[in-house]
Each structure stands twice: as C-alpha cells, then as structure tokens.
C-alpha cells in the first residue's frame, strides 16, 4: 500500500499539484515531473497550478542581468498579469481536487501558505520538497497543511515494488518550456543523471540529503532510456542538465551517453566539480555540442576553501580545468559566493 492511500484513504481520484515558484524562474522542476508521472501511473487525474509566469512586483534574476548589461532583453511568451489568487481559485473550483499536493523550497514556503490559506474549502493538503526534508520544524505551525512528506515523491505515491516512471512535464503549459540562456530563448527541458551530488562541500545540503534519501550510482541504460523518452516527446532546442556534478559519470558511461546524445544535435548546459574535469571527458562534451559548463569555485582563498568550504582543489587545478574547457571551445561559467564569515573586501 502506498503512503498516499495509507494517509489520505482510497477515495482520492483528482490531484491538484501546486508549484509556488519565484516569478520568472524558468527551470522546469524535477519534483513536479516525477510526482505527476507517479500519480498518472497509479490512475489519478492530475492538474497543475504553476505561479512562475505571473509577473509580480520587483525585478527577476533575468531582469537584473539585463540591467547590468550581461545579456540583451528577451521577450518571454505567456507572461501573466492577471490576479494569481483569483486564477488559483478558478482552477480549484473547476477541477474539484480531492487533495492538493505542493512542492516547495525554502523561499517559496510563504507563497504556498498564502495561496492555500486563501482557499475557502476543506481539502487535504500534502507538502513536500527539500524544505520538508531538511527543515521539518518550519512546518510545525502550519495548520493549513495536513501532511508534510519528508521522503521521495515516488515513495509517497507508488506501492512497494512499482517501477518509477519517467518524468512527466506535460502538466506544464507550453510557454513554460521556453527559457533564456545567454540572451536567447530556447525550448528547454531539464535532465539529470543523478539526484544527489557525491561531494560534501561545506555550504551544501548534499551530504545530509544522501543520509536521508540515499545515493545510488547511475544506471546509464536507464538514463539513456529516459533521455530518449524526453527528447522524443518534447522536442527541445536546448537541454539543461541539472546534475550537480555531471562529469562524475565514469568515462565509459559518459561515452555511451554521448553516443546517443550526439544523434539529437541539441546544445546543452551542465555543471560539474573541478576535480572531474579531464581531457577525455571534455572531448566528449565537445563532441556532444556542449554550450557551457559551470564550475563551483566559491572562494579564491585556497586555505579557506579547503578548511571551511570543503572544496578540495588548488587554484592551479581550477585554472587548468577552465583552460581544458576553453581549449575545447566550451564556454565556462564560475559559481562564487561573496560574503563568507570572516571574509574582508580584500
């Protein structure tokens, strides 16, 4: 018996998914993709209310990049200026859900509370996401939420032994597949080869997540099957590989994946750890049509980075990784954190 049936009963037929996202933050979430696929596999009717395209007050991250001259302005299709709350009420009233399931991160919890609190109906609400897994104490006073789920989405919906289906993004409206990269708009899908990073950097939750939800080595054939499924179903112009450390794949697995990826001739973005960059893997990235690789440097002080940030590589190794990528014609982006404890302007 699934946890969903155990906690909510067997009279649930219609599930409304709520994704209370930051305005104009375009990445499609794996959480909704997994949850929708699992629910549909079990026979539930599924609908999604997604707040991403609602234009709220203030500047989005992309607005700020345009203002700083990093990228030119890009017109985003499907931006909504209507009243988000009234639209939510209309969807709830029209769909008549037996349960509302919400996926949140730390900075979307408050929007979820306000949206759910604005409803004048008695319907069970299930809340899940990284916030629930890592910070369950934040939900103790949330009387609006009947159930806080602290595990994997598939463990909540599926029965033991069920096969986990490939992600389903069809619940999103078509405009949500478009997102800007470096000043151009692309029809984009997210894809990952692993859920949790194998490294244990001091500022990141990966180490705790591995203890809570586990870590499994990549089954490259499963990865390839899901990749083909997503590419053939959604026909993207760009792939956002969301794995924290894409090049952690063994070179033979990466070569197998590259052979399949190359046939689609679609650019992609990925990120990885400095220690995983070498000539053989970067050559494969180049053959695949890699658009850009992001490396996490975080802090330029080697001693601080080693002792506090727990990123174990030298500045020379970081520079060398950048050079290997640049020599292969691949753009490099660096992630850095400004304002560490004890850090001075110098």
67 phi/psi in degrees, rounded to 5: -60, -35
> For residue 176, is it within any domain?
no
Last residue of a domain, one of 134, 157, 180: 157
Give yes or no for a contact between 331 and 292, defined as CB atoms under 8 angstroms apart: yes
pLDDT at residue 59 greater than cutoff 80: no
Q: What pLDDT score does 65 carry?
A: 78
User: Which pair of tokens denotes residue 326?
Assistant: 């640049």
How are strands ordered across the β-sheet holding 268-272?
A: 178-181, 184-191, 238-241, 268-272, 290-298, 331-336
Give yes or no for a contact between 82 and 107, defined as CB atoms under 8 angstroms apart: no
pLDDT at residue 97 greater than cutoff 70: yes
pLDDT at residue 150 greater than cutoff 70: yes
> For residue 220, is it within any domain?
yes
Average pLDDT over residues 331-345: 90
Same domain, 205 and 322: yes
pLDDT, averaged across the chain: 91
Binned at pLDDT 50, 70 and 90, residue 28 comes out as: very high
Distance CA 11, CA 314 (A): 58
Cα–Cα distances in Å, from 234 out to 47, 191, 231, 289?
18, 12, 6, 19
Q: What pLDDT score does 263 carry?
A: 93
Average pLDDT over residues 152-181: 94
Same domain, 145 and 12: yes
> For residue 177, is it within any domain?
no
Same domain, 132 and 57: yes
Same domain, 150 and 201: no
Distance CA 132, CA 139 (A): 8
**84 CB contacts (<8 Å, ≥6 apart)?**
51, 54, 56, 115
Distance CA 184, CA 180 (A): 5
Q: How do residues 248-288 score in pLDDT, each as one tens digit?
A: 999 999 999 999 999 999 999 999 999 999 999 999 999 99
Cα–Cα distances in Å, from 243 out to 192, 198, 280, 296, 326?
5, 11, 19, 13, 21
Q: What pLDDT score does 76 carry?
A: 85
Same domain, 26 and 95: yes
Q: Name the packing angle between helices 251-262 and 279-288 (round to 10°).
A: 10
Q: Residue 148: which CATH number?
A: 3.40.50.280
Locate tokens 């660096």: which residue? 334
Last residue of a domain, one of 109, 130, 157: 157
Q: What pLDDT score does 73 carry?
A: 81
Range of the domain at 13: 3-157
pLDDT at residue 139 greater than cutoff 80: no
Alpha helices by DSSP H, listed for the chain, are: 3-8, 30-41, 61-67, 84-95, 109-117, 130-134, 153-157, 206-213, 220-234, 251-262, 279-288, 302-304, 315-327
Distance CA 288, CA 82 (A): 41
Q: What pLDDT score does 144 carry?
A: 64
Count the alpha carbons within 13 Å of 244 in the hemisphere toward its beta carbon.
Answer: 13
Q: What pLDDT score does 138 carry?
A: 64
Q: Name the packing angle between helices 84-95 and 109-117 (round to 10°).
A: 60
Same domain, 142 and 216: no
Q: Which residues of 283-310 are buried (b: 16+ CB within 10 A; e: fewer)?
A: ebbeebbbbbbebbbbbeeeebbeebbe
Q: What pLDDT score does 181 carry?
A: 86
| Strand pairing category for 99-103 and 14-19 | parallel
Q: Residue 312: which CATH number?
A: 3.20.20.70
pLDDT at residue 142 greater than cutoff 70: no
User: Which pair of tokens denotes residue 86?
Assistant: 């009234």
Q: What is the 3-state secondary structure (H, E, C) of 137-184?
A: HHHCCCCCCCEECCCCHHHHHCCCCCCCCCCCCCCCCHHHHEEEECCE
pLDDT at residue 209 greater than cutoff 90: no
Short-list 85, 108, 226, CA closest to 168: 226
Distance CA 300, CA 315 (A): 7
């Amino acid at each position: 018996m699934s946890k969903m049936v155990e906690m909510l009963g067997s009279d649930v037929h219609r599930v409304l998914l709520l994704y209370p996202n930051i305005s104009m933050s375009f990445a499609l979430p794996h959480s909704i993709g997994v949850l929708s696929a699992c629910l549909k596999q079990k026979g539930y009717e599924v609908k999604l209310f997604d707040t991403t395209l609602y234009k709220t007050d203030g500047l989005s991250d992309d607005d700020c990049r345009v203002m700083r001259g990093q990228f030119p302005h890009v017109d985003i299709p499907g931006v909504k200026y209507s009243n988000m709350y009234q639209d939510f009420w209309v969807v709830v009233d029209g769909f008549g859900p037996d349960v509302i399931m919400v996926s949140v991160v730390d900075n979307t919890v408050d929007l979820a509370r306000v949206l759910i609190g604005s409803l004048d109906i008695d319907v069970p609400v299930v809340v899940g996401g990284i916030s629930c897994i890592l910070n369950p104490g934040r939900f103790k006073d949330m009387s609006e939420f009947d159930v806080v789920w602290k595990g994997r989405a598939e463990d909540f919906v599926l029965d033991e032994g069920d096969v986990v289906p490939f992600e389903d993004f069809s619940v999103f409206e078509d405009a949500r597949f478009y997102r800007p990269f470096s000043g151009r708009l692309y029809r984009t899908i997210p894809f990952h080869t692993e859920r949790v990073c194998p490294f244990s950097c001091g500022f990141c939750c990966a180490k705790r997540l591995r203890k809570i939800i586990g870590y499994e080595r990549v089954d490259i054939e499963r990865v390839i099957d899901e990749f083909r499924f997503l590419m053939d179903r959604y026909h993207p112009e760009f792939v956002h590989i969301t794995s924290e450390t894409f090049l952690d794949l063994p070179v033979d697995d990466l070569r197998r994946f590259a052979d399949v990826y190359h046939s689609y001739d679609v650019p992609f973005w990925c990120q990885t750890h400095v220690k995983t960059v070498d000539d053989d893997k970067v050559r494969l990235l180049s053959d695949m049509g890699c658009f850009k690789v992001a490396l996490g440097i975080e802090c330029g002080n080697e001693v601080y980075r080693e002792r506090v940030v727990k990123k174990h590589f030298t500045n020379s190794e970081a520079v060398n990784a950048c050079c290997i990528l640049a020599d292969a014609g691949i753009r490099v982006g660096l992630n850095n954190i400004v304002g560490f404890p004890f850090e001075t302007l110098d």
